[in-house]
Amino acid sequence: MIIDCHGHYTTAPPQLQQFRQAQIASLKGGPKAILAGISNDEIRSSLESAQLKFQRERGTDMTIFSPRASAMGHHIGNDEISAEWTLACNDLIARVVKLYPDNFVGVAQLPQSPGVGNDRVVAELERCVTELGFIGCNLNPDPSGGHWTAPPLTDPFWYPVYEKMVELDVPAMVHVSASCNPAFHATGAHYINADTTAFMQFIQADLFKEFPTLRFIIPHGGGAVPYHWGRYRGLAQDMKRPSLSELLQNVYFDTCVYHQAGIDLLTEVIPVKNILFGSEMVGAVRGIDPSTGHYYDDTRRYVESLPLSDAEKKAIFSENARRVFPRLDAKLRKRGL
């Protein structure tokens, strides 16, 4: 079985984005936004020609699926706007999962907003897990959209979210949204900045002593972390911090790295037990690599080409995801998988 830990609903029917545009217009005095009806057939059509098509062509089985990350837009409006938008996005993911339970399982967007506490965040996480059957969440370390006004992920500000994650036994993928800072291209800079920043924040504090069962996935191959592993080992040593191997009891990386050499490096530096298969399709990079003739985000090819044992590849493709997402494992066991 191949489980893709990183997928977003980037092809949602246009009514969803129209609702978002109406929300933004309402901030300038327009009428209250109302989400137009979306039929099951429209949902099917949006997936059959995209995510489902690629699943079948590439031989993957299930995608851990969440709303479009770049559209979370936590910097837009206020916490009420964010809550309404998040509700609409998560409910749509739940409908996708209901239509295609063998292909998708849900992960929650959270209604974050700059400078606002986490009461709505905790409530929506609980709703998504206990009522919608979701198995995790995406946590944005920078709701300001590239201005980094939030406390570090190790700050007690985040503890109510972590307490709920631990209670529900769900992990979070650390994932920013769009950048409203012109210095940071969203998917080429802001995403990678955030991945790298999160790891450095974890080095600098004792979060996992406070929450020993808390689990994070750092996407996009961990940003710059694997490439600069020696730098981070050395910084931790100089700061008299624990070794990075201790962090790896709680921190994991995906394979959303779009060339073979990058995947090779990831698996040479990071233990196999800490790597989850991911592609982010249909996502940031949608084209075909002229040097290979294959899609950049067809990451299964890169993993298959690694000089690893079948058992190690199985761990990356499915077993690690089942361990990091125990609610997924429970769902699959109920199906006899």
DSSP code of 223? T
**Tokens in use for 55?**
């699943």
Spatial distance between the Cα atoms of 272 and 177, rounded to a whole number of angstroms: 28
Exactly one of 42, 131, 163, 280 is catalytic; name it.
Answer: 280
What DSSP line would sit under 111-129, residue for residue?
Answer: ---TT--SHHHHHHHHHHH
CB 123 within 8 A of CB 54: no
160 phi and psi, to 5 degrees? -60, -35
67 phi and psi, to 5 degrees? -60, 160
SS3 23: helix
CB 12 within 8 A of CB 46: yes
CA dist 297 → 56, 219, 268 (Å): 14, 14, 20
CA atoms within 13 A on the CB side of 206: 6
Spatial distance between the Cα atoms of 112 and 248, rounded to a whole number of angstroms: 27
Spatial distance between the Cα atoms of 337 and 335, rounded to a whole number of angstroms: 6
CB 181 within 8 A of CB 149: no
CB 116 within 8 A of CB 47: no
Q: What's the gap between Cα 42 and its chain centre?
A: 25
CB atoms within 10 A of CB 254: 28
Reported as type and span, the H/E element at residue 201 is helix 191-204
48 tagged catalytic? no
- Return the active site residues: 280
